[in-house]
Structure 1
Amino acid sequence: MNFASVRIITDDVDRLVEFYERVLGVSAERPAPVFAEFILPSCTLAIGHSQTGQLFGAGSVVAAQNRSVIIEFLVDDVDAEYARLKSAVDDWVQEPTAMPWGNRSVLFRDPDGNLVNLFKPVTEEAIKRFSGRR
């Protein structure tokens, strides 16, 4: 089994696409006005309009209600990403910080309130844990 993607359901696809294009530095593929994908080497981040949620069963998904999942991206330089995105992000949760499991992380919320973590392993143990994942 291979992990394929994470999909964010939103009421404003264009706003989230614009936000993640800035964060990720890549353009989204837009096969339909209600759907977009960021196809990255390690994963795909999909964004679907709340109208598409009905295709998964009435009431199965609700836009902008997530408070338990963190969308994480492995980056080369956490501090440089923080500086680059400082003016683009409205809701910073945590400035660059060393985490107890060996990563340096910065956390913020996207326009729908989803938590995003940009991180880099910095301790020897964390670097070993992530070797081969890029």
Structure 2
Amino acid sequence: MKIALQYCHITVNDVDESLGFYRDALGLELRNDVASGDFRWVTLGSATQPDLEIVLSEPHAGRSRADGDALQELLVKGMLPMTVFSTDDLDATFERVRASGAEVLQEPIDQPWGPRDSAFRDPSGNMVRIQQAKG
């Protein structure tokens, strides 16, 4: 039996604004842009993981008003789970993301548990970590 992760959702305030971070700064490729009523879902991915897509959507997309409001409140507080990306060149990736104007939370450092990593906030306040394996 084979099992693999196919989609990972990231809740954002504004899909278009978030594309500037995930597509332009991180270098992910746009795969789908699907409208549904007043909302849309955008999927992005990496050529190195062709079967995995990141889905960007707003808090109220596909949810009840109450659930969307609760998710929006967590997003505003910066309390949604972080996303961690890996790269083979952390310093170059860090500089490209910093040059995009993203909020830097942590410059690249060697972590005691192994990887060298850095951290940013996306335009919606989600924490995004980028790491490179030692070696």
Question: Same fold per TM (> 0.5)?
Answer: yes
**Offset of residue 53 of structure 1:** 4.1
Which one of 30, 35, 38 corresponds to residue 41 of structure 2?
A: 35
**Corresponding residue number in structure 2 for 1:69:** 81
Is 100-109 or 1-10 further displaced after alignment? 1-10
* Mapped contact 1:9–1:53 kept (Cα < 8 A): no
Unpaired stretches in structure 1, ≥5 consecutive residues: 124-134
**Corresponding residue number in structure 1 for 2:11:** 9
**Corresponding residue number in structure 1 for 2:101:** 89
Measured in 1, the distance between the counterparts of 2:29 and 2:4 equals 24
**Corresponding residue number in structure 1 for 2:67:** 59
Question: What letter matches 1:120 in structure 2?
Answer: Q
Which one of 18, 21, 41 corresponds to residue 19 of structure 1?
A: 21
Normalized against structure 2, the TM-score is what? Answer: 0.77
**Offset of residue 19 of structure 1:** 1.5
**Offset of residue 22 of structure 1:** 1.4
**Offset of residue 11 of structure 1:** 2.9
Runs of 4+ in 1 over 6 A off after TM superposition: none
3-state SS of paired residue (1:39):
strand
Aligned-pair Cα RMSD in Å:
2.2
**Offset of residue 24 of structure 1:** 2.7
**Offset of residue 95 of structure 1:** 0.2
Size of the aligned set, in residue pairs, is 122
Question: For residues 85-113 of structure 1, what are the alpha-carbon distances to aligned partners after superposition, in whole Å with 9 as ceiling and x for unaligned?
Answer: 22213311100000111100011100111
Question: What letter matches 1:48 in structure 2?
Answer: S
Question: For residues 106-132 of structure 1, what are the alpha-carbon distances to aligned partners after superposition, in whole Å with 9 as ceiling and x for unaligned?
Answer: 111001111111101105xxxxxxxxx
Measured in 2, the distance between the counterparts of 1:9 and 1:70 equals 11
3-state SS of paired residue (1:21):
helix
